[in-house]
Amino acid sequence: MRKTLLSLVVAGSLVAVTPPAHAATWFGPGIASPIDNAMGPGPAPRPAATADVDSDGRADLVSVGDFTAGDIRVSLGDGTGRFAAATEVAGTAQTQGLDLGDLTGDGRADIVAMTTSEARILKGDGAGGFTQIGAYPLTLGGQVQPLVVDVDGDGDLDVVAPTFTAVQSLVNGGAGSFTAGPTTQVPGAGALSAIAVARLDPGSTPDLFAIDGMTGTAFALTGNGDGGFTVRGSLYATSFVPEDIAAIDLNGDGYDDAAVVGSFSFSLATGLTDGTGRFTSPVPQSSQFGGPGPTSAAVADFDEDGREDLVVSSLADPTAGTLTVLAGNGTPGMQKIGTFSTAAFPQNPVLADYDQDGDTDIAVVSPGTITVLPNTTP
C-alpha cells in the first residue's frame, strides 16, 4: 500500500503543538550503524523487531531484507547503541512482515516471518541463528503483519494477522507447532492495514485494534480466549490511507486508546475507549499533524513519569528521515516533544535499551543504515 509518497496540502485544521523547552534533552544525536540492506526493509507495518537473539543480554535487531526481495537480516547489538555487520537467514526472501518471540518454549527468541501467503516459523538457536521448522497458510491483507501474542491464555505464544476483511489466528500447540485458529470477520473493512495488541476490557485475554486502509476506520476487538475476537466498536480515524495503529493509554484509566497514523493525510488521530472495548466517540478526540508522511508508531514511557509516550516515523522529508516524539499528558492530544533526525526513509521504530543505561531507546532501520536515538531524558 505504501510504495511512494506524495507531496500534499492537507485540508482542514490540524492541532499545532509547541514543543517544551526541554525537548532536546529527551534523545541524543542518532548513532548510526551500517547494514547490508540497501533497499531497506520495506513497506509493512512491522518489517523490523527487537529481542536478544544471541543470549548475551543485549538488544538485537531482525529486519526484512531489501524491500522483501532479500533474506532476513540479523543485526547483533554491542550494548553501546551500535550493531555488528548483519548476517542473513538463508531461504527467507519474500518476507514482508515479521515478529519475534519464544514460540518453541525453550527460552530463546524465534521469528514468525510472513509472506503474501504463509507464515514461516524460524526457530532460534540462542546464538543469532535461525532454522525454519514450519510454514502455515495465512491470507494476504492490505499490508502484511504477523503479531506474536498468547491469544488463548495457555502460556504459549500464538500468531495473529490481518486479512483484507478479517483477523485470523494460528494457535500454538506447544514447541512451535501451529493449527489454524478462528478467523474474525470485521464488518465494513475493505483492506485492513495494521493491527495492534491492546487491553480494552477487564478480561485477561488480549484484545486488538485494527485499522482499515480503505475507509480510514479503526476497529476495537475484544478477545474471546480461543484465538477469535468480537468487534465492539469503530472510530472514523482519517480520510486517506492510514497505515498503522498503536495502542496507548492516553487518559490513565488502565485501558488502551487508539492512535492512528495517516501517511497521505500527514495526520495523527487519537480516540479514547471506555473499558468495555468500545470507543467513547465515533470520531477522534484529537487530530494533528503527524509528521511528513507518517508511517509507523510505537509506544513506551520514555521519561518514566507513569504516562505512555508515542513515537512516529516519517518518510517524506526531502533531506532525511524523522521521528516525532509526543509525550503523554493525560489528554488525547498529547504534547509534542520534538522531531529527531535519522537516516533517510526510516521504517517502523523499535524500542529497547540498546545502550544498556536503563532507559528505553529508539531504533529504526533505513536503507543501508540502522539509527539509534539514545534516551537522555532527565
Tens of pLDDT, residue by residue over 191-239, are: 999 999 999 999 999 999 999 999 999 999 999 999 999 999 999 998 6
Round to whole Å and give the CA distance between 196 and 217.
14
We report the CATH number of the domain holding residue 219 as 2.130.10.130
DSSP label of 21: T
Partner residues linked to 90 by β-bridges: none
Confidence of residue 21 (pLDDT cuts 50, 70, 90): very low
Is it the case that residue 290 has pLDDT exceeding 80? yes
Does any domain span residue 15?
no
Asked if the structure places residue 13 within a domain, the reply is no
> Alpha helix locations (H) across 145-261?
none
Q: For residue 235, which of 299, 290, 313, 287 has the smallest C-alpha distance?
A: 287
Position 1 in a domain: no
Exposure of 84 by Cβ count < 10 A (0-12 exposed, 13-18 middle, 19+ buried)? middle
Q: Tell me the three cell numbers of residue 259.
A: 492512535
User: 266-287, pLDDT tens digit by residue?
Assistant: 999 999 999 999 999 999 999 9
Give the closest residue to 247 by CA, choosing from 165, 177, 168, 149: 149
Q: Could you report the per-residue pLDDT of 183-193, keeping only the tens digit for each?
A: 999 999 999 99
Residue 22 has pLDDT above 70, yes or no: no
Residues 6+ apart with CB under 8 A from 45: 97, 143, 145, 193, 194, 243, 244, 296, 348
Say how far apart CA 337 and CA 267 lie, in whole Å.
Answer: 17
- CB neighbourhood size of 281 (10 A): 13
Which residues span the domain enclosing 67? Answer: 34-373
Instruction: Fill in the amino acid letter for 231.
Output: V
The verdict on residue 338 lying in a domain is: yes
Q: What is the mean pLDDT of the chain?
A: 92
* Angular region, 40: left φ>0, alpha ψ -120 to 50, beta rest: left
Does the structure show a pLDDT above 50 at 13?
no
Position 241 scores a pLDDT of 82
pLDDT over 70 percentage in the chain: 93
Based on DSSP, count helices (H) and strands (E) in the chain, helices before strands: 0, 28
Domain count, the chain: 1
Positive or negative, the CA dihedral 98, 101, 104, 109 is: positive
Three cell numbers at 20? Answer: 517544551
88 neighbors 71 (Cβ within 8 angstroms): yes
Instruction: Give a yes or no: residue 167 inside a domain.
Output: yes
Rounded average pLDDT over 69-81 = 97
Task: Note whether residue 18 is domain-resident.
Answer: no
> What separation in angstroms does the CA of 321 have from each of 93, 124, 341?
26, 32, 6
Per the listing, cell 510505537 goes with 298
Q: 63 in a domain, yes or no?
A: yes
φ, ψ of residue 98 in degrees (nearest 5): -150, 165
Residue 120 lies in a domain: yes
Q: Which residue is it, cell 510504495?
A: 3
pTM recorded for the entire structure: 0.93
